[in-house]
């Protein structure tokens, strides 16, 4: 079973378990990657359309219900985002301000910011993230996969892994996309793309328990390890 078969199986199991929000998140992540085999892309788009129709029939638009979901667990928060994706977020200004000021899960916050980017929301938000308070307007941002440094980083991943490590490359692509959402409203810096690519590779190989291979793939393992602990620590979140 290759990567795409495993992804199909994961999505199928999530849908059968009634976890449409999580399945939808995986579909969005896969469709956001720079390269997808055409048959797999068509399949994902069909699934996305089916989920969208189902979601539109079960939209939650009540402010209090959305507030309860956004204060709930990850599944509940993703359910709230699925509704907000189809609603006009300008009508939920106070709710969104509360969400960002309550130190939300960075992954959920990143997905919500992406929704606000898609709607070109020009309201200013203050996002409490750890010890930082990040001020942003979604209308000034780009989708993370549209940033030039993202593509530079992706190309570096391909250079490092495509010939000998295709499975690791797919995992690295997913991790890069995850990281790009988690750091929103910040974006990958152009000068960081090469080092970030190596940090992503480092994290993938460490996760797989293949650290002994790293010296043959990246230039300075010790340096990259330190960067994963500080500058690129969100790769481990």
pLDDT reading at 4 higher than 90: no
Summarize the confidence of residues 190-196 as an average pLDDT: 92
Q: What is the pLDDT of residue 148?
A: 92
Q: What is the pLDDT of residue 1?
A: 61
Summarize the confidence of residues 113-117 as an average pLDDT: 96
Question: Which tens digits make up the pLDDT trace of 197-229?
Answer: 999 999 999 998 988 998 999 888 899 989 888
Q: What is the pLDDT of residue 58?
A: 58
Q: What is the pLDDT of residue 98?
A: 93
Long-range CB pairs of 43-49 (<8 Å, 24+ gap) are: 43/8, 47/11, 47/23, 48/24
Determine the Cα–Cα distance for residues 156 and 191; give it in Å rounded to an integer.
13
Q: What is the pLDDT of residue 30?
A: 86
């Amino acid at each position: 079973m290759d990567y795409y078969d495993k992804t199909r199986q994961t999505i199928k199991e999530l849908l059968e378990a009634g976890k449409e929000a999580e399945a939808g998140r995986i579909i969005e992540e896969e469709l956001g990657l720079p390269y997808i085999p055409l048959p797999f892309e068509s399949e994902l788009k069909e699934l996305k359309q089916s989920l969208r129709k189902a979601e539109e029939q079960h939209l939650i638009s009540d402010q209090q219900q959305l507030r309860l979901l956004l204060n709930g667990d990850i599944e509940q928060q993703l359910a709230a985002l699925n509704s907000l994706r189809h609603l006009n977020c300008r009508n939920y200004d106070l709710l969104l301000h509360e969400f960002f000021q309550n130190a939300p899960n960075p992954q959920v916050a990143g997905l919500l910011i992406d929704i606000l980017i898609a709607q070109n929301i020009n309201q200013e938000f203050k996002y409490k993230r750890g010890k930082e308070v990040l001020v942003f307007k979604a209308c000034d941002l780009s989708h993370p996969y549209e940033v030039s440094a993202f593509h530079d980083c992706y190309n570096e991943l391909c250079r490092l892994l495509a010939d000998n490590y295709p499975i690791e490359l797919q995992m690295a692509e997913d991790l890069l996309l995850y990281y790009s959402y988690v750091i929103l409203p910040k974006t990958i810096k152009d000068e960081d793309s090469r080092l970030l690519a190596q940090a992503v590779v480092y994290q993938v190989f460490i996760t797989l328990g293949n650290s002994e291979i790293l010296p043959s793939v990246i230039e300075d393992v010790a340096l990259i390890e330190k960067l994963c602990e500080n500058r690129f620590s969100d790769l481990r979140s």
